[in-house]
Amino acid sequence: MVDTPAFLDSNRPDVPDIVVPRGVTPFFLPGRPVRGRLVRLGPLADALLSRHDNPAPVTRLAGEALALVAGLASALKFQGSFSLQAKGDGPVSMLLADCTDSGALRFHARSDPDRMAATLDADAAPSARSLLGDGYLAFTVDQGEGMDRHQGIVAIEGDTLSTMAGHYFETSEQHACWIRLACRNTASGWRAGALVLERIATEGGIDDALAPGRELDNHVLDAARLSRPDTDEEAWINALALAATLGEDELLEDDLPPEQVLFRLFHEQGVAADRPRALAYGCRCSRARLAGILEGFPAEDLDHMQIGGDIVMTCEFCALDFRFPRETVTGLATRT
C-alpha cells in the first residue's frame, strides 16, 4: 500500500470533538432598537484554553477574545470567518482569535515568559491593557479565496478587552455596541461568555418584530406591548442599564439556560430569542496544509530543521505536533 503524499494528506491527529449546540443565543427587544447575542462557550472553553500552557491571566484574556469573536461571527450573513488580532508592546505581544460562520473557534497567544513573570510579580491579576500594552486591534471579516477582506484597525484604548472592542465600534464602524466579556477557571474547568448589544434602526415597531417566522419566547412578550419609551435613545439607555446588571456567575453558569438569563435581564421590556447557534472546536490545520508551508523552504533549510530524520511542525492554534520524514519533503530547489 502506497502512503499518501503529505501535500494530499488531509488527516490530522485527534482533537476534542466538542460541540456546544446553544453556544450563541441571538435575541432582540421587540419594538426597540436593540438586538444582541448571549454567548456561552461551556466546556468548549476548557477544551480550547487548556491545550496551551499559558499563565492564567493570558488564558482569561484569550477566553474573552474567543467569546467576543463567537458573538460577532454569529452575525455574518455569508460563509467566512471573523477574527480579532491584538498586537502590542506588552508581555503579550500577540493575541489572535477567530470564528467561522459555522461556529468553529480557535486562538493563539504569544507572550514573553520573563516579562510575564515580572508583570505577575507586580500584579497577580493584570488588566488586558497591562498584558497587551500599547498597540492596535484589528477586526477582520474574511469571505474566503477570491473575495475581498474587510478589516478595521484601531489603537488599543481602555483597560479591558470589552472597552477596547467598544472603542473599535465607536471609531471604525460608528455603530453603537455594548459588550461584556467574562472568563474564569471554575470547578468545572475554564468557562467563557459574552453579552453583546447593538443599537439598530427601528422599522415598524412591535408588529414587525412579531412577524411570522420569528421564534419568540411568548411568555416574555407582553411587556413590550404595555408601553414604549418616548425615543429610541431612551430605549437604548434603558437596555444598557439592564444589561449592566448581568453578573459574571450568570454569564458563565452552565446550568442556567440562556433564555432564563435574558428573561432576568429584559423581562420588563420584553425579549425575544432567535434560533441558537452552535459553537465547536475548530482548528483548521492538516498535514496537507503544513506540508505546503514546508515545500516553500529551500532544501538546505529543511536539512537544518530535521531532528532525527523528521521535521516537526507544531500548530500554534491546537498545539499538536505534525512529523514529516525529511525524505518526503522536497522543498525549493537551490538556485545556481
Report pLDDT digits (tens) over 132-176. 999 999 999 887 776 777 889 999 999 999 999 999 988 876 678
E-assigned strand segments in 165-257: 177-186, 189-199
Residue 183 located in a structural domain: yes
Task: Answer yes or no: do 195 and 290 share one domain.
Answer: no
The pLDDT of residue 327 is: 79
Q: How far is residue 140's CA from residue 134's CA, in Å, rounded to a whole number?
A: 20
CA-based angle 108:176:196, to the nearest 5?
Answer: 50
Task: Answer yes or no: do 313 and 210 share one domain.
Answer: no
Task: Answer yes or no: do 272 and 308 share one domain.
Answer: no
User: Quick one: cell of 15?
Assistant: 482533537
| Burial class, 272, CB count within 10 angstroms (exposed 0-12 / middle 13-18 / buried 19+) | buried
Task: Answer yes or no: do 164 and 302 share one domain.
Answer: no
Task: Answer yes or no: do 247 and 302 share one domain.
Answer: no
Task: Answer yes or no: do 272 and 314 share one domain.
Answer: no
Domain extent for 302: 285-328
| Burial class, 264, CB count within 10 angstroms (exposed 0-12 / middle 13-18 / buried 19+) | middle
Residue 10 located in a structural domain: no
Task: Answer yes or no: do 205 and 308 share one domain.
Answer: no
The pLDDT of residue 12 is: 55
Other C-beta atoms within 10 Å of 78: how many? 9
pLDDT < 50: residue spans in the chain: 1-2, 7-8, 204-227, 335-336
Task: Answer yes or no: do 138 and 236 share one domain.
Answer: yes
The pLDDT of residue 208 is: 40
Tally the domains of the chain: 2
Contact 154, 137 (CB under 8 A): yes
Of the CA atoms within 13 Å of residue 123, those in its CB half-sphere come to 11
- Quick: pLDDT tens for 74-113: 887 778 889 999 999 999 999 999 999 889 999 999 999 9
pTM for this model (two decimals): 0.81
The pLDDT of residue 209 is: 39
**Strand 104-111 relative to strand 135-142: parallel, antiparallel, unpaired?**
unpaired
Task: Answer yes or no: do 198 and 315 share one domain.
Answer: no
For residue 111, the domain's CATH number is: 3.55.30.10
Residue 14 located in a structural domain: no
Other C-beta atoms within 10 Å of 312: how many? 12
Task: Answer yes or no: do 203 and 323 share one domain.
Answer: no
Other C-beta atoms within 10 Å of 94: how many? 15
Task: Name the domain boundary from 264, 281, 298.
Answer: 281
Contact 321, 312 (CB under 8 A): yes
Task: Answer yes or no: do 194 and 275 share one domain.
Answer: yes
User: What letter would DSSP give residue 325?
Assistant: E
Rg, the chain, Cα only: 23
